[in-house]
Amino acid sequence: MDYFLQQLVNGITLGGVYALIALGYTMVYGIIQLINFAHGEFFAAGGYMGVIIISYLSAQGMSPVLCIALGLGLTMGYCALLAMAVEKVAYKPLRSSSRLSVLLSALGMSIFLQNGLMLTQGVYDKAYPTEMTAGGFHFGNVVVSYMQIYIVLITAALLICLNLLVFKTRIGKAMRATAQDKVMSALVGINSNKIISLTFAIGAGLAAAAGIMVGFYYGSVNYSMGFVPGIKAFAAAVLGGIGNITGAMVGGLIIGMVEIFAAGYLSSEYKDVFAFIILIAVLYFRPTGIMGENVDDTRV
Amino acid sequence: MKRILALILVLAMTLASASAFAETLKLGSMSPLTGPYAADGNDIANGVRTAIEVVKAEGGIPGFDDITLSAQDTACDPRQAVAAANKLINEEVAAVIGAYCSSATLPASETLDEEDIIMLTPGSTNEKVTERGLKNIFRTCGRDDDQSKAALRFMKEYLKAKTIYLVDDKTAYSQGLADNVEKGCPAAGIKVLGHEHVNQGDKDFSAVLTKVKAAKPDVFYVSLQNSATGALLIIQAKRMGIDAVYLAQDAVYHPQLIKIAKKDANGMFLTFGYVDPNTPSYKQFIKFYEPKYGKPGAYSTYAYDSAMAYMAAVKKAGSTDLDKVRAALLSMEFKGASKSFKYKENGDSGSNYIIRKIENGKYVDFWNAQTGKKY
């Protein structure tokens, strides 16, 4: 029983991280039908910017909580700006061309950003000040570290904020309108370029938050860290129904759990195999994903 | 008049022959400069660069007016390694220092062998590397079968371990080594509780570690291809509360292991080739290396020694011809920065694995696997 509970805790944490990254994929896909392959790089860039800012702040003698909160905010802002810049340079000029050319542009951007990170930050891993968040609770044999709790809490908070933004504000309404029909929404006075830009910014901000939490949770970041979680999160987004916010959360949790339980009860060699078997099975029986991809109301 | 003409002719001929002899010695290096093993790969390239600087500072090699390096990236990938080998062949290098991953060295050495280009590997410890009868391959580091013996002897005689759990990440090197250890366990009276394989590039080991924790082994053997991944695994294992003895190997050995895992790394044991930092060769190496490239990694000295040995052999042979250089390499004794060694017929240079321990954020020599005594 302890074993099961421990694996459950592991699975929820990993799922939370995937969910945060998956949101960026799903939002961008929802609004311009683009699979943004560069999204994993925002996650990596966030991880790096986070450790740079947090180390600097803590060297100034700031308290750990303040350091992390400020670091999280600044890094999310930085990645949001980075994503807007990427969108302006790599995607906007191609908006009227075929979907394939935008996709290739996204792949190119991913390689560019990853190598940029390698050249500016070096090939060595950068260590996180893990002592800031060390420790945890012991329930019998089950260990729940503070960082796991933070990941779940911060992920939940960000998801609630995102839902409020999308469904309760005028900006959210404009985003949903743009997703449904770009031309029509432009006719009623919505600046669709601005809305698209904003969508990229929000997605990248969430990925940046995931980058920092992963840095603290695992202990270090490196320039190539965006690739694998990027693929997994993309799978999560498709699993939940791409374009669907709730779907991305559900998909992320499922992929995380399946991976952990496959590794825990079968063999860790096959954990990715099982994660993708689930994906294929769901797509076979429900091509639009678990939550469906064309529910206009919930689609951004 | 005739005399003067003859003199001029002789002069012209010597000048011509001098310029024909004065050529550039082109070396190539192969190691993962990008990807997850980029840290070790750059250590290797920098080790070779340092060797070239040292030789140049000492006056170079007679007959060559310059020594250059073409550093190629293998990304630890067999296919890219062969492509890198072909690129170096086109660039007409005289010798190649590399590669790092055994899975890259194995195919690349065969490509280079077809062109009679010598290859000195500073880091590929898989046994097969020198057991294919290739005459172009030399190995400056140790061998995995010797490394696993050192680990087994340490577990049996010093730790008196009864049970073990192994984790590797499925490369020719990391899995080969873990398999060797596993095979030797019954003879050493150690029960294998489990042997898990994780994927390369994984960051989350919580599921596997929960398994290890439930099995309660005496020794937790970590055989990963990369030190940063090793650090992540150690951090998570400590957080999970696995209180086994942690034993790892030479690919996990790197200054960045301590840098990332910090105090979680304390108390951990690693098998690693013995390096004496007090030899004149090491001191000379570090004098040139550290100001430019920072603290040397696990394989910097081996790469440096490989390049130094090759250049010394070229100097002795007076040629870059494979057979002549090979004969020179086999006949010479080297006092390297990593160890003193002499290449054997199959290209091996002997292993000198010892057990090192991490104490207070530093690597210290702990146990001599040859004598079975503590340092």
Residues of B in contact with A269 (CB under 8 A): 170, 196-199
CA A156, CA A50: separation in Å to the nearest integer?
A: 20
Q: Does CATH place domain B145-274+353-374 in 3.40.50.2000?
A: no
Determine the pLDDT at residue B1.
61
CA A186, CA B342: separation in Å to the nearest integer?
A: 77
CA-wise closest residue to A29 among A279, A236, A253, A280: A236
- B195-250 pLDDT, tens per residue? 999 988 788 999 999 999 999 999 999 999 889 999 999 999 998 889 999 999 99
Chain-centroid distance of CA B121 in Å reads 6
Q: Do A118 and B170 touch (CB under 8 A)?
A: no
CA B317, CA B328: separation in Å to the nearest integer?
A: 6
What pTM was estimated for this model as a whole?
A: 0.84
* B34: nearest CB among A10, A118, A272: A118
The Cβ-side half-sphere exposure at B61, using a 13 Å CA radius, reads: 27
Which of A18, A113, A125, A228 is the mutation pick for testing B, counting most B CBs within 10 A? A125
Residues of B in contact with A8 (CB under 8 A): none
Q: Write the class of the CATH domain B2-141+299-341.
A: alpha beta
Q: Are B179 and B192 in contact (CB under 8 A)?
A: no
Residues of B in contact with A125 (CB under 8 A): 39, 228, 231, 256, 260
CA A171, CA A156: separation in Å to the nearest integer?
A: 21
* B241: nearest CB among A143, A214, A228: A143
* A123: nearest CB among B42, B170, B235: B42
Q: Are B135 and B157 in contact (CB under 8 A)?
A: no
Chain-centroid distance of CA A243 in Å reads 14
Our CA angle for B71, B72, B74, nearest 5°, is 140
Report domain extents, chain B.
2-141+299-341, 145-274+353-374
Q: Are A80 and A86 in contact (CB under 8 A)?
A: no
CA B91, CA B108: separation in Å to the nearest integer?
A: 15
Question: CA of B119, closest CA in chain A: separation in Å?
Answer: 25
Residues of A in contact with B241 (CB under 8 A): 138, 143
Residues of A in contact with B205 (CB under 8 A): 268
CA A233, CA A31: separation in Å to the nearest integer?
A: 18
Classify residue A252 by burial, with Cβ atoms within 10 Å: 0-12, 13-18, 19+. Answer: buried
Determine the pLDDT at residue B87.
96
CA A232, CA A276: separation in Å to the nearest integer?
A: 9
Q: Do A14 and B206 touch (CB under 8 A)?
A: yes
Classify residue B317 by burial, with Cβ atoms within 10 Å: 0-12, 13-18, 19+. Answer: middle
Tens of pLDDT, residue by residue, chain B (375 residues): 666 666 665 656 555 554 455 689 999 999 999 877 888 999 999 999 999 999 999 999 998 999 999 999 998 889 999 999 999 999 999 999 989 999 999 999 999 999 999 999 999 999 999 999 999 999 999 999 999 999 999 999 999 999 999 999 988 889 999 999 999 999 999 999 999 999 887 889 999 999 999 999 999 999 998 899 999 999 999 988 899 999 999 999 988 899 999 899 999 999 998 888 899 999 999 999 999 999 998 899 999 999 999 999 999 999 999 999 999 999 999 999 999 999 999 999 988 899 999 999 999 999 998 888 888
- Whether residue A116 lies within 8 A of chain B, CB to CB, comes out as no
Give ipTM to 2 decimals. 0.84
Q: Do B231 and A220 touch (CB under 8 A)?
A: yes
* B207: nearest CB among A118, A264, A272: A264
Determine the pLDDT at residue A298.
45
Structural domains of chain A, with CATH: 2-124+131-299 (1.10.3470)
Q: Do B201 and A228 touch (CB under 8 A)?
A: yes
Q: Do B196 and A136 touch (CB under 8 A)?
A: no
Q: Are B251 and B224 in contact (CB under 8 A)?
A: yes
- Whether residue A125 lies within 8 A of chain B, CB to CB, comes out as yes
CA B31, CA B108: separation in Å to the nearest integer?
A: 11
Residues of A in contact with B214 (CB under 8 A): 3
Q: What 8-state DSSP symbol labels residue B240?
A: H
- Whether residue A222 lies within 8 A of chain B, CB to CB, comes out as yes
Residue type for position A245: I
B2-141+299-341 and B145-274+353-374 agree in CATH topology = yes
Q: Are B342 and B332 in contact (CB under 8 A)?
A: yes
Tens of pLDDT, residue by residue, chain A (300 residues): 889 999 999 999 999 999 999 999 999 988 888 889 999 999 999 999 999 999 999 999 888 889 999 999 999 999 999 999 999 999 999 988 888 999 999 999 999 999 999 899 988 889 999 888 888 888 888 889 999 999 999 999 999 999 999 999 999 999 999 988 888 899 999 999 999 999 999 999 999 999 999 999 998 998 889 988 998 999 999 999 888 888 999 999 999 999 999 999 988 888 888 888 888 888 888 888 888 765 444 444
A140: alpha, beta or left, given left = phi > 0 and alpha = psi -120 to 50? left
Identify the three-state secondary structure at position B96.
strand
Q: Are A49 and A75 in contact (CB under 8 A)?
A: yes
Residues of B in contact with A15 (CB under 8 A): none
